[in-house]
Amino acid sequence: MDRIKISTAQFENKSGDKNYNLSVIERLAKKAAQEGSNVIAFHECSITGYTFARNLTKEQMLDLAEFIPEGESIFKLTGIAKQNDIVVLAGLFEKDQNDNLFKAYVCVDKNGLVAKYRKLHPFINPYLKAGNSYCVFELFGWKCGILICYDNNIIENVRATRLLGAEIIFMPHVTMCTPSTRPGAGFVDPKLWQNRENDPTSLRLEFDGMKGKDWLMKWLPARAYDNGIYAIFSNPIGMDDDQLKNGCSMIIDPFGDVIAECRSFEDSFATATITSNKLSQAGGYRYIKARRPELYRHIIGQDHKSEQKVVWLDTNKI
């Protein structure tokens, strides 16, 4: 297919309530399918909830996490995909047979699991282990990749996924509206969310300012533009445990242009038809071909000890 319709969703998840969260995923997936979408993507840990996990013990995390693909959530996602003839991408905590824990994101169609990715730079709970591989798979003749939240801030991850063939990269997040060292960052007062019907303007100013979208737009379009890919960004709206998130789930084309965006305070999705011609028209296509790796392969690949600072309490995204 030289064109497909993709929806990116946002909703207010409930912490630890997988049945509720899956019911919202089902409702939005059904509506997106009715409107002609081939694919719908949800945010990081959209099945389980996210921020509340900073307070969980390993035993509690193991109770919350699931085996993949044997877990109940994959079974339910497969049913949603089959009943609505739509591909669904969603996130959850994963465990393996050795009680290792991961932040996972899955792609499921009517036949079951298509792809699974483990976050390379996990935050929020000290018992989570890092994934150790990239993920590229095919949907409707398109090469797709997945990078979760902070993985996208490490620019090498996006370029590596592109070099492995990805034309579309799904970028599920739980981000924005948290403290950081950058100017203008910080929490958004939950009272604004509670009063959103009476005063939507004050909430929108916070959501769109430097605590939220203004920061996102400093770097996210560049990931799409520099690499000549479609970026499918998904993020929750509303309260995630005690932190307010601003949604603004969006689709960015290879020119770095936002071609669809959620602007509602409601559980919702935005849809765009993506076309293959932009992949070769955009500057990123030329930049990839113009690379001279003989100049920098030893620089980029030199020995390096990661000094990532993990902040469990506020999941700081710098």
Q: Where are the alpha helices (DSSP H) in the chain?
A: 18-34, 58-64, 72-84, 155-163, 190-194, 200-208, 213-227, 277-281, 283-289, 297-300
Report whether pLDDT(312) > 80: no
Parallel, antiparallel or unpaired: strands 230-234 and 168-172: parallel
Residue 293 resides in a domain: yes
Residue 310 resides in a domain: no
Give the confidence band of 201 by pLDDT, cuts at 50, 70, 90. Answer: very high
Nearest to 68 by CA among 98, 105, 94: 94
Residue 315 resides in a domain: no
Structural domains counted in the chain: 1
Residue 313 resides in a domain: no
DSSP secondary structure string, 233-251? Answer: EE--EEEETTEEEE---EE
Parallel, antiparallel or unpaired: strands 3-10 and 39-41: parallel
Query: pLDDT (tens digit, 9 = 90+) per residue, 118-172?
Result: 999 998 999 999 999 999 999 999 999 999 999 999 999 999 999 999 999 999 9
Residue 251 resides in a domain: yes
* DSSP conformation class of 51: G
Query: pLDDT (tens digit, 9 = 90+) per residue, 25-51?
Result: 999 999 999 999 999 999 999 999 999
Report whether pLDDT(318) > 70: no
- In this predicted structure, what is the pLDDT of residue 316? 39
Residue 318 resides in a domain: no
Looking up residue 276, the CATH number of its domain turns out to be: 3.60.110.10
Give the confidence band of 309 by pLDDT, cuts at 50, 70, 90. Answer: low
Report whether pLDDT(313) > 80: no
Residue 85 resides in a domain: yes
pLDDT (average), residues 275-279: 97
Give the confidence band of 305 by pLDDT, cuts at 50, 70, 90. Answer: confident
Residue 311 resides in a domain: no
Instruction: For the chain, give the percent of residues with pLDDT over 70.
Output: 97
- In this predicted structure, what is the pLDDT of residue 304? 85
- In this predicted structure, what is the pLDDT of residue 285? 96
Domain that holds residue 173: 3-300
Report whether pLDDT(308) > 80: no
